[in-house]
């Protein structure tokens, strides 16, 4: 096991810069998830760590050694691929032991390691089958088993759950987390699914356009996003953004959304945004769960307003409501018993204690 | 599977309707349609393959003037002749060594072409296929000139190194070498194109997984490429073995079986005896000998393929 470091790592393909100078330190035993939309450079970064792609510039170290020019087989890593990449002509046991057999491990040790990994992944009964006789979830377990038996310094996962159906994906997500709790191997995991990123990671690295937007623990990213991209990418349904500006009304700082709609800011927020120029074009960022039905007794900082709902989506435990404000579609989450109906008016309340204020031009969260 | 109706809801049709529309229903069955569509080919195969095959079986049981039934007499006669056993030996040497070299060269060249950048691959593929698309009778004539003992390009070039002149088609062993060489030159592109297609179908991720698992270049070929190509290799080898075993044109043009029958293979010898020697029944018996040998090879190779099935 080992720590992994990336220093100003760049990847260029002819004219395109896929990865634009990434700095990242991954601690020993840590589970780090690289997340971002397709084409953000996350898979390329992982493949550079694996040694499957050359790096154009910068340094990658694994366990303190620079591995820029070390071939994949000498990096002591294991990788789980999106399509599993199991050898179709080998049985499950042969697939799992392939790396060890190439390194001429003693037969008894290979057997004990394969048995142990198979037991951990609950695939003991499948050990003599060929990959084509397995379901997608079982293949994924075998692919993980192949990584585990090697006992490498680093696990690399390249969108391992993308080919599974939604239900199985949730199940395998838990499996992966359990395995990591047992083996504690340093793990770099790539996904485009922010839910996977949030649920699995010790730390999430959000990437966009070949750059790192923000690094942080899942809750930190959710509650303190640094940029508009992170704020909108993390969380589902996504954060709402409404054009707004600040103004002083009667000695209190207000956030004005429309000519008729302005909310006074709670004291803590008012103090924080006091220095923001009143002429700046801003965006108010509010997560759907902070727009709910108005209750008779509102907490301080929770401001009521009226909206005409465009669409409602009953989810069972809650109902998602959509309405339009200043041309922007806004989503809120209300109690199923709040009486939300398509096309009907509803009195809602916004919790400004959890608001975000962004610069509309730079996208930076203030 | 073959009898599934094209319209599943028709299964619910009553018996009476079904009887009335008997022909109509028959046409709706996939198997009937499939049979009708393949019928022209079946008729062609029957006319040009099955009929001649049985006719040659019939011929092989007649005497030289084709007037009397002599049973297995022709075969008894063949077994006693040394030339026949020489031809058996030569056919096996010719077919097996030619196929091995074709497969080997095809595999190496396919790897070379596979690793050529995509934009240049078409050109290389096209150039390397040339030997296979030229009619062999024509290209063998060119080889005949190259092999000419006194004025040929080969011997002229070798003379600079103080080698030769080599009797390319005049000495028994050199003549065997020459016919095999030309056959390899002609047939290797076929292996190349088949292997290239197989190589392209191996998922890149398997190589990446193997590289991470610690496999070097050679181990990647041995543990990933070859197993993934096994079926294609087996089918290509079988096909080539049959075609090479039954080869006629190259040997006929290059050596005509000489010197002293030392390059004859089944087809050329059957032609020599049956057509040139006017003993058609004996020629038919010679050519029939290819059948059991090839049948055994086919059974072994195809059995192996069906046993493994489609693992991918």
Contact A355, A284 (CB under 8 A): yes
The ipTM value here is: 0.82
Is B210 in contact with A98 (Cβ distance < 8 A)?
A: yes
pLDDT of residue B5: 43
The whole-model pTM stands at 0.78
Rounded Cα distance between B244 and A28, Å, is 62
How many angstroms separate the first and last alpha carbons of chain B? 22
Q: What is the pLDDT of residues B289-307, one digit of tens each?
A: 888 888 887 887 777 776 6
What average pLDDT does range B106-132 have in this prediction? 87
Of B206, B216, B310, the CB nearest to A85: B206
Q: What is the pLDDT of residues B18-76, one digit of tens each?
A: 555 677 777 777 888 888 999 999 999 989 988 888 888 888 888 777 778 887 878 88
Q: Is the pLDDT of residue A321 over 70?
A: yes
Q: What is the pLDDT of residues B264-289, one digit of tens each?
A: 888 888 888 888 888 888 888 888 88
Element (H, E) at B94: helix B82-114
Mean pLDDT, all residues of chain B: 82
pLDDT of residue B42: 92
pLDDT confidence band for B2 (50 / 70 / 90): very low
Mean pLDDT, all residues of chain A: 90
Q: What is the pLDDT of residues A8-46, one digit of tens each?
A: 999 988 888 888 989 999 999 999 999 999 888 899 999
pLDDT confidence band for B259 (50 / 70 / 90): confident
pLDDT of residue B1: 40
Contact A324, A311 (CB under 8 A): no
Is B214 in contact with A73 (Cβ distance < 8 A)?
A: yes
pLDDT of residue B8: 45
Rounded Cα distance between B162 and A166, Å, is 75
pLDDT of residue B116: 85
Q: Is the pLDDT of residue A1 over 80?
A: no
Name the H helices within chain A: 42-50, 92-102, 107-121, 136-149, 166-183, 194-200, 218-223, 228-233, 267-273
Chain A closest CA to B245's CA: distance in Å?
A: 31
Which chain A residue has the Cα nearest residue B219?
A: A102
Q: Hey, is the C-beta of B262 within 8 angstroms of any chain A C-beta? A: no
Of B205, B219, B230, the CB nearest to A81: B205
As to burial, measured by CB atoms within 10 angstroms (0-12 exposed, 13-18 middle, 19+ buried), residue A343 is exposed
What average pLDDT does range A130-138 have in this prediction? 90
pLDDT of residue A333: 94
Contacts of A73 in chain B (CB under 8 A): 211-216
Paired tokens of B97: 């060594």
All residues at 6 or more sequence positions from A77 whose CB lies less than 8 Å from its CB, including other chains? A49, A50, A51, A62, A152, A153, A154, A155, A156, B212
Rounded Cα distance between B264 and B258, Å, is 7
Q: How many Cβ pairs closer than 8 A exist between chain A and B?
A: 68
Q: Is the pLDDT of residue B9 over 50?
A: no
Q: What is the pLDDT of residues B231-255, one digit of tens each?
A: 888 888 888 888 888 888 888 888 8
Is B227 in contact with A150 (Cβ distance < 8 A)?
A: no
Q: A73 or B3: which carries more pLDDT confidence?
A: A73
Is B212 in contact with A130 (Cβ distance < 8 A)?
A: no
User: Among A248, A220, A249, A246, which residue's Cα sits nearest to residue A234?
Assistant: A220
Chain B closest CA to A196's CA: distance in Å?
A: 23
Helix or strand or coil: residue A214? strand
pLDDT of residue B134: 87
Rounded Cα distance between B21 and A71, Å, is 70
What average pLDDT does range A56-67 have in this prediction? 90
Which DSSP state fits B62? B
Q: What is the pLDDT of residues B148-193, one digit of tens each?
A: 877 788 878 887 887 777 778 778 888 888 889 999 999 899 999 9
What's the half-sphere exposure (Cβ side, CA atoms, 13 Å) at B100?
6
Contacts of B234 in chain A (CB under 8 A): none
Q: Hey, is the C-beta of B118 within 8 angstroms of any chain A C-beta? A: no
β-strands A186-191, A154-158 pairing: parallel
pLDDT of residue B312: 43
User: Among B38, B39, B21, B16, which residue's Cα sits nearest to residue B7?
Assistant: B21
Which chain B residue has the Cα nearest residue A76?
A: B212
């Amino acid at each position: 096991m080992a720590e992994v470091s990336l220093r100003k790592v760049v990847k260029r393909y002819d004219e395109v810069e896929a990865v634009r100078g990434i700095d990242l330190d991954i601690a020993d035993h840590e589970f780090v998830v690289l997340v971002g939309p397709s084409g953000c450079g996350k898979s390329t970064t992982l493949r550079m760590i694996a040694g499957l792609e050359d790096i154009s510039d910068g340094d990658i170290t694994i366990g303190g050694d620079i591995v820029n020019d070390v071939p994949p087989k000498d990096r002591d890593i294991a990788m789980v691929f999106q399509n599993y990449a199991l050898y179709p002509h080998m049985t499950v046991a042969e697939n799992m032991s392939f790396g060890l057999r190439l390194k001429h491990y003693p037969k008894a040790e290979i057997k004990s390691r394969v048995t142990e990994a198979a037991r951990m992944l609950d695939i003991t009964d499948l050990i003599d089958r060929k990959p084509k006789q397995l379901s997608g979830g079982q293949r994924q377990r075998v692919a993980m088993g192949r990584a585990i038996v090697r006992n490498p310094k680093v696990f690399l996962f390249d969108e391992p759950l993308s080919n599974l159906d939604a239900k199985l994906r949730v199940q395998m997500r838990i499996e992966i987390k359990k395995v990591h709790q047992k083996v504690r191997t340093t793990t770099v995991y790539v996904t485009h699914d922010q839910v996977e990123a949030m649920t699995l990671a010790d730390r999430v690295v959000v990437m966009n356009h070949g750059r790192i937007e923000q690094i942080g623990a899942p809750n930190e990213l959710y509650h303190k996003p640094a940029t508009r991209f992170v704020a909108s990418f993390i969380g589902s349904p996504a954060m709402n953004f409404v054009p707004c500006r600040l103004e002083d009304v009667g000695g209190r700082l207000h956030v004005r959304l429309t000519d008729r709609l302005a909310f006074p800011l709670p004291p803590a927020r008012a103090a924080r945004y006091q220095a923001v120029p009143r002429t700046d074009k801003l965006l108010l960022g509010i997560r759907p769960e902070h727009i709910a039905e108005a209750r008779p007794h509102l907490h301080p900082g929770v401001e009521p307003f009226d909206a005409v709902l465009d669409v409602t989506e009953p989810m069972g435990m809650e109902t998602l409501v959509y309405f339009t404000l200043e041309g922007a579609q806004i989503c809120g989450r209300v109690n199923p018993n709040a009486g939300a109906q398509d096309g009907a008016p509803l009195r809602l309340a916004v919790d400004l204690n959890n608001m975000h204020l962004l610069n509309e031009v730079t996208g930076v969260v203030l | 599977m073959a009898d599934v109706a094209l319209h599943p809801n028709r299964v619910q049709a009553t018996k009476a309707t079904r009887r009335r529309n008997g022909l109509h229903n028959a046409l709706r069955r996939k198997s009937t349609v499939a049979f009708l569509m393949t019928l022209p080919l079946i008729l062609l195969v029957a006319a040009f393959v099955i009929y001649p095959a049985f006719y040659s079986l019939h011929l092989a049981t007649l005497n030289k003037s084709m007037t009397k039934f002599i049973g297995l007499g022709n075969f008894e006669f063949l077994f006693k002749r040394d030339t026949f056993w020489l031809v058996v030996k030569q056919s096996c040497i010719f077919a097996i060594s030619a196929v091995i070299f074709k497969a080997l060269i095809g595999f190496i060249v396919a790897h070379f072409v596979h690793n050529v950048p995509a934009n240049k691959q078409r050109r290389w593929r096209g150039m390397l296929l040339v030997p296979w698309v030229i009619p062999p009778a024509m290209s063998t004539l060119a080889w005949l000139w190259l092999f000419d003992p006194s004025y040929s390009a080969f011997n002229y070039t070798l003379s600079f190194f103080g080698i030769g002149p080599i009797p390319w088609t005049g000495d028994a062993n050199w003549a065997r070498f020459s016919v095999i060489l030309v056959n390899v030159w002609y047939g290797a592109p076929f292996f190349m194109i088949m292997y290239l297609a197989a190589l392209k179908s191996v998922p890149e991720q398997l190589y990446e997984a193997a590289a991470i698992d610690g496999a070097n270049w050679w181990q990647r070929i041995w543990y990933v490429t070859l197993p993934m190509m096994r079926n294609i290799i087996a089918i290509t080898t079988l096909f080539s073995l049959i075609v090479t075993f039954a080869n006629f044109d190259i040997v006929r043009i290059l050596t005509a079986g000489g010197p002293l029958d030392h390059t004859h293979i089944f087809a050329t010898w059957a032609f020599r005896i049956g057509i040139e020697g006017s003993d058609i029944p004996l020629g038919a018996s010679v050519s029939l000998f290819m059948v059991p040998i090839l049948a055994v090879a086919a059974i072994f190779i195809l059995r192996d393929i069906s046993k493994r099935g489609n693992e991918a």
